[in-house]
A and B are shown apart, each in its own frame.
Chain A
């Protein structure tokens, strides 16, 4: 079976005065469906950049990128957004909930972009509220929640449209360890249910939840083979 993700010689650089500053160098790797992969590396190594590319948010790179057997490098922006919508959910370090929307409304956002009938949408939001035990919070605004609760909502929002891949950029970076543990348990469970997960973390403890670790340094892959 083909891997879910295949990167061949992915490079990313910024124009810097004269010459280029490379952020990613010759990244070549496969990630199979159902894997739980951890990306580690010092700050500035290019981890977030790599996640952005995998999540179709960043289109300015070179190399070959196959995602669900589609050659992403040959797709236009609209087609890439389609892939994002269909297969991918995002979780961020700083939650990135929308301040002016309630928990319920925040959860509804991904569905609103996915051609789902509003009656169905209400059901799906209801389900996810149940699943994450946050029904009581549905009418609150993000700034009325603790950090852990906010991240819980963010994870719920990432999975609401049943993505096959979750990309999580330092999801526990802003949380206490107990809250962080809760989120990691959640990822574990999702992964057990078949969702592929790629997380970025600085924590060895969190890394242990995954199957293998990809180390990045200065844009280079350090040890493609290392397992957790």
Chain B
């Protein structure tokens, strides 16, 4: 206890040191606590369901972080086949999320919802707070007119009235009876408004990707389940060549929810650990300087009979107090910083964001690192201070005390510079990758484009011609808005939320490339011109390409090369009819256009086969539509007028979203931008700490060496010699730090590989630039002490010894 009191008194006696040290540690611990809070809530806390360890997600798609499709999903027909064969899962369910138009409860509104099979809630083991969840047969046609709503919607649309149960709402035009309200905090797969039962009925050439999860039987392992899934999907009869089937994956549901963000979070955690290490190094340096100033006090204590252990304990008590104070301040920083971080993060990036908060684990974590930190940065100075006392009294000779201190402090600066180099290199690589990503050619001109998505309910718009009529009127009205240069329609927009994929049957026994799934957008004439997609060969769709005319298609460059390699695609024919196509079922290729990015900037060139809306007679392929408008001026200004167009045509029809094309593209790179920014911010913090540390050590060293500098001046050193003396030391420290840091970065930046787009983790340009930056900053930090050294008055310096 007396140790603590003594330590507190000691710290209060040097408030400058205490404030700077506590602040540095607070920054380090604050950053760690903030990131750990997110890691804890997102990665570590189990899902809030009974026996969550038995919940697994099943996937049969390639895992590609830069494509939109990197979720745990599988094609609908695989799900149906697997569900029939499976023996290891108690229950399985498939679901996917959509925006849904809701009417019948106040104004028409677009709500977030999931379509799920009847077992959805029973797989999770989740119960309704009010009413009930789906009954086993409620995903069957005729029984599926029910809906479970979320707590949020219940409050906002029904005033939290229990009588909401039994009420009817229209979802995409269909009537659904509310059977249950989920409790607050139920957020699977996200905090949605509605859950609608829907069975899975795969059809022909066009498959849908579904999220699939299941509750495994007790005692069955993840490996067994993976093996089963793998075996079963390989048995599935049909065209799909086994070699082209992506591998089967069974991952814990928690991982499937947080898997995407896991690596990012771990990288952030690593980054803040570096920041903390640098902060510790800084404080260790401050403590060394302080203990040098306290040699007298320590010597006296030792003379009075204090053992070395006792002295060390005294010094460690002090450093631990500093780190605990820093930890407390850091916790405050984290409380304030976590919401800011969550807000900065793109919405899809942080699953379970609503559950992020500081809990007992976070407090324990903060306390633990504060404790470890205090011992960590305190132990070296404490050993040093007490050892030097011993050696001094024994007068062993050799390099003097200040010399050894100086080298130790130098080593700490080298460590700081090396650590921040690693962080900066990581941030530099991310930045370069991000710039590369942003400068990718999308294949169309995004500037001056605004998009509006409208999803027509198939209950109101039952036939293709009804849908086409709506689209035609909308396009007509849009084209008359002021400032509109061109407008067109596409069912699934590039950088939009989804698309249709599938295969074909080719004419003349030619084989469609096995395993290939082409994108199948449906567009209006003028789409290519509006988007600025270049027509490479042949012609665009025209108004004459209608239902009565020959069916035509325009294919993308890569589709042409992949499907008809070495041949002229113009005039080639294909059909979507499996059996006995009639002559009018054949589609003729009339044009080739440039490839566009569909799912993201890092997307590979996609094989795309465009057809035109007037020739499509399935309303389900048309009722999701995006209108693209090219404007002469700022496209943002057109939004209100565009909404007005839809309202004029159909009062009950909400607009799903209006966004400029640039906004959609920005959103698609929101995640790498966030990663880059965050890593950048941490590394700048590190750089700042390293600069302060370098400055501190050199300033202290110059102060310590005033006498030496005076001697050197008396022996003929000019100002520039003195300047060089200090700067050379700076450069040596920086050089050693940069070398060690570069070696470290080479080893560590490999963890970024998955995040890097067209940049290698050992990119030499980045390494050189970062090394130069760091050396420059170190030199700048050394410049002030160096300049001060040249101002030493030799007469003064030599007078006092």
Fill in one digit per residue for A139-153: 1 if any B CB lies within 8 Å of its CB, else 0.
011011000000000
User: Per-residue 0/1 for A77-99: is the Cβ within 8 Å of any B Cβ (1 yes, 0 no)?
Assistant: 11001001100001010101111
Which 5 A-B residue pairings sit nearest by Cβ, starting from the closest? A85-B716, A100-B403, A113-B716, A99-B400, A144-B397
Chain B nearest CB from A52 CB (Å) reads 5
| Residues of A close to B715: CB separation below 8 A | 90, 109-110, 113, 157
Give the shortest distance, in Å, between B392 (CB) and chain A (any CB). Answer: 10
20 inter-chain pairs at a CB distance below 8 angstroms, sorted by A residue, are A49-B795, A52-B795, A57-B713, A57-B794, A57-B795, A57-B798, A58-B795, A77-B719, A85-B716, A90-B714, A90-B715, A96-B710, A96-B798, A99-B402, A100-B399, A113-B718, A141-B398, A141-B399, A143-B395, A143-B398
- Chain A residues in 8 Å Cβ range of B798: 57, 92, 96
Encode contact with B along A90-123: 1 for CB under 8 Å, 0 otherwise. 1010101111100000000110011000000000
Range of interface residues on chain B?
20 to 34
Q: Is B406 an interface residue (CB 8 A)?
A: yes
CA distance A223 to B794 in the complex (A): 30
- Chain B residues with CB below 8 A from A94, complex form: 801
Task: State whether the Cβ of B665 lies closer than 8 Å to any Cβ in chain A.
Answer: no
B403 neighbours in A (Cβ, 8 Å) = 99-100
| B717 CB–A CB distance under 8 Å | yes
**Closest Cβ of chain B: how far from A224's Cβ, in Å?**
25
* A99 with B399, Cβ < 8 A, contacts A57-B794, A58-B795, A94-B801 known: yes
B711 within 8 A of A: yes
> Is B763 an interface residue when CB atoms closer than 8 A count as contact?
no
B760 at the interface (CB under 8 A from A): no
Which A residues touch B402, using CB under 8 A?
Answer: 99-100
- Looking at chain B's contact residues, the main secondary structure is helix
Complex Cα spacing A50 to B404, Å? 36
Which of A77, A92, A113, A143 is close to B717, meaning CB atoms less than 8 Å apart? Answer: A113
Tell me, in angstroms, the Cα distance from A41 to B755 when the chains sit together.
78
Closest to A88 in B: B716
Decide yes or no whether A210 CB sits under 8 A from chain B: no
Instruction: Give Cα A52 to B795, complex, Å.
Output: 7
B711 touches A96 (CB 8 A): yes
Say yes or no: B711 contacts A98, CB within 8 Å.
yes
> Beta-carbon contacts of B428-469 to A below 8 Å, as 1s and 0s?
000000000000000000000000000000000000000000
Contact present for A57 and B716 (CB under 8 Å): no
Q: A84-B716, A92-B798, A114-B716 are in contact. List 20 more A-B contacts (CB 8 A).
A: A55-B714, A57-B798, A78-B719, A85-B716, A96-B707, A96-B711, A96-B714, A96-B798, A98-B708, A98-B711, A99-B399, A99-B403, A99-B708, A100-B400, A109-B712, A110-B715, A113-B717, A141-B397, A143-B395, A143-B397
Q: How far is the CB of B412 from chain A (nearest CB, A)?
A: 18
Q: Which of B703-744 contact A (CB under 8 A)?
A: 707-708, 710-719, 721
**Bound state CA distance, A161 and B717, in angstroms?**
13
- Report the bound CA distance from A95 to B10 in whole Å: 37
Which residue in chain A gives the minimum CB-CB distance to B402? A99
Instruction: Please give, as numbers and ranges, the residues of chain A lying within 8 Å of B708 by CB-CB distance.
Output: 98-100
Query: Could you tell me the distance in whole angstroms from the C-beta of A94 to the nearest C-beta in chain B?
Result: 5
User: Which positions 581-596 of chain B face chain A at CB distance < 8 Å?
Assistant: none
Distance from A101 Cβ to chain B, minimum over Cβ atoms (Å): 9
Residues of chain A with a CB closer than 8 A to B717's CB? 81, 113
